[in-house]
Structure 1
């Protein structure tokens, strides 16, 4: 925790008036839209004459639709996550209402209030063993904040903290099933003889600073993020006892995801049904060596291997039904044979 810093004076717009800057810098960190709505309560607890408020978004949550628009509307200075975590940037306190390990990148003591300031529910108070009724926890939170700020010469203002809290503003209304995603525009310059432009999309690791191709995205049927499901080139169903037949699931998954190249569904621990982008169905089964048990076959590993084999070589699509495939994962190697199937079932 850094010590008190010297702050310069700045002139008030009124003439001949010299007024000091706020004594404390506080960073409000939002990760989801719910946590962002609770940041406004923090604003009401901290008067601007004592505290300078900054807000940032800890990126990476799947529940962040409309988040930046909402945070930018808060009465404070908005910083990108890169600006808030830049070398040399520090704050007297960071407050978050949803925690993530990456928040340690902020140079500031971190206060986490997972249920807001406590106005909307009974909150167990570990300090005195009692329960805070709705509204009472707000006063306790404010006293704790100003107790922390006491070393900066900031005193708690008079007045009831409960009166500073009002109704929460409504967050931006967005319906995940109906709202269209943002439209991306590209300017393409160059000579094109056949009139066809191929665009390959690659996932980028968040906050890594790297933008070069990093492979492709493969997900299982347990993935809940609609964005990841739409961006995946490989999808796999890992359960073998699902109610929907494997062939039907593969067709439905391909229809829902235009970017999908390979889809797989487990039929048994060592057997999978595979669907290629052109609609062909193949049954994949591991080869068993004499005297040894048949190796298991994970549908996600199979899908990723076939995607690399058929679409990642750069020399045209390979034919998976001839010769089989040897899948190496570290020191382990599994040989897979393919048998063409019709589209009526598994």
Structure 2
């Protein structure tokens, strides 16, 4: 079953909940959680599948351990996550079961997104949970995460979950009612394009319990809209905010999708997989990729960075600007040999018959 949302058919939605909404005075805000869960259950009764990305574990755990979150060492950070996650899920489980709904806990690290096979298995698991009628509660696995394998913040995790589950809509609930133009002192209802003018509106702000601010929320919205889905940033304390969104009331800030929806493969290439290196190209090659949807040819390559092999995921840049990501047909060493040469010259340079493209268009995704 689907619901209409700004003219788009929505079947599956990801809702991200911030720490400051969930935790009050060192404890789970049971009143807020009950109201939130009631709204999620109402969405399910409309026929929607819902995934919840929930922050709050570290902040809650730090409070339970009588620690200042800002002063936590890495081991204390991980310990706080372990304590907080257990208590947080207990609260979710109790509240959802009051409405006859089963919740499920899923914890991720960056590695679950980096590798295509893990990504595929995670996607299948979530699809099965949703088909079984559960509400998956997702968080980063901060108990084992270190910088090298961290997603970083739950706004980004929520965007990645929107891609992973092929959801049609991401709703980020926060303490503020949406994106504000502070010069005009008014909320922006719709952002058709997340350009530099929009980014300039973002003010640095972060709660004592959370890791992100409006910047990470807008970045998450951009990730989602670039892949052809919608996003909303809205106030989590607005009464019945989720219900009002699906009644087409002007709540929060709406970010409409790009016209083109990416395939699951290209979504993984563009946003999820770990890059193994960089290829720098000239402006002509960049324009050909963006305007013509062409493959990346060796003639447009200026330089290469990193140590990668055929089949690895790489970034394509013009100067400092990321243009695309793709799966390379050549190793870094061979690209360095053929850069600037025409495709017809590759066989002579490498001494064997090989691919004509550095990255085939089917394995390349634009990101700007």
Q: TM-score under structure 2 normalisation?
A: 0.25
Task: Specify which structure has the bigger relative contact order, considering alpha-carbon pairs within 8 angstroms and separated by 6 or more residues.
Answer: 2
Bigger helix share: 2
